[in-house]
């Protein structure tokens, strides 16, 4: 079956512009995560959606970052007034209803954002 799909795969933008990154999780997965991977770094948690519960936004680095998930499926991560330090790969992941045994995350291939 289809995996986690992210678009665009690459985005180049000018400083100060807004960008939207899209994630389409695996069908039937109720949990969706956004992570950010800066050059040479590990992944940094941004936000987590689980079903109809309020999202966990504790990882969002500033109020320029927001995300929504419509209809419990597709999610959009929005970065307003982009800065050069926002340049990174933004990875989306999904899981079925939380499995305490492993909780494996299924990742997409990421959206590479470059802010000039």
Partner 1 sequence: AQKITQTQPGMFVQEKEAVTLDCTYDTSDPSYGLFWYKQPSSGEMIFLIYQGSYDQQNATEGRYSLNFQKARKSANLVISASQLGDSAMYFCAMREAFTGGGNKLTFGTGTQLKVEL
The binding site for partner 1 (CB under 8 A) comprises: 31, 33, 35, 40-45, 48, 50, 56, 58-59, 89, 91, 93, 95, 98, 101-110
Residue 81 CB, nearest approach to partner 1 (Å): 26
Strand partners, 9: none
CB of 106 to partner 1, least distance (A): 8
β-bridge mates for residue 103, sequence order: none
In angstroms, give the least distance from the CB of 104 to partner 1.
Answer: 4
Task: Report the C-alpha gap between 115 and 23 in whole angstroms.
Answer: 20
In the bound state with partner 1, the residue whose beta carbon lies nearer, of 76 and 106, is 106
Closer to partner 1 by Cβ: residue 19 or 93: 93
Nearest to 98 by CA among 1, 6, 32: 32
Supply the minimum distance, in Å, between the C-beta of residue 16 and partner 1: 27
Which of residues 55 and 80 has its CB atom nearest to partner 1 in the complex?
55
Its sign, for the CA torsion 22, 66, 16, 91, is: negative
As to burial, measured by CB atoms within 10 angstroms (0-12 exposed, 13-18 middle, 19+ buried), residue 43 is middle
Q: In whole angstroms, what is the distance from residue 53 CA to residue 8 CA? A: 27
Q: Which is nearer to partner 1, 37 or 80 (CB)?
A: 37
């Amino acid at each position: 079956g289809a995996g986690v799909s992210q678009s665009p795969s690459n985005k180049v933008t000018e400083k100060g512009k807004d960008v939207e990154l899209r994630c389409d999780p695996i069908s039937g997965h109720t949990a969706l995560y956004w992570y950010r991977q800066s050059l040479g770094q590990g992944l940094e948690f941004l936000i987590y959606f689980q079903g109809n519960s309020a999202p966990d936004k504790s990882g969002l680095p500033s109020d320029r970052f927001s995300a929504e998930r419509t209809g419990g499926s597709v999610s959009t991560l929005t970065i307003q007034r982009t800065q050069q330090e926002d340049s990174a790969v933004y990875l989306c992941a999904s899981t079925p209803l939380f499995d305490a045994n492993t909780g494996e995350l299924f990742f997409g291939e990421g959206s590479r954002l470059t802010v000039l």
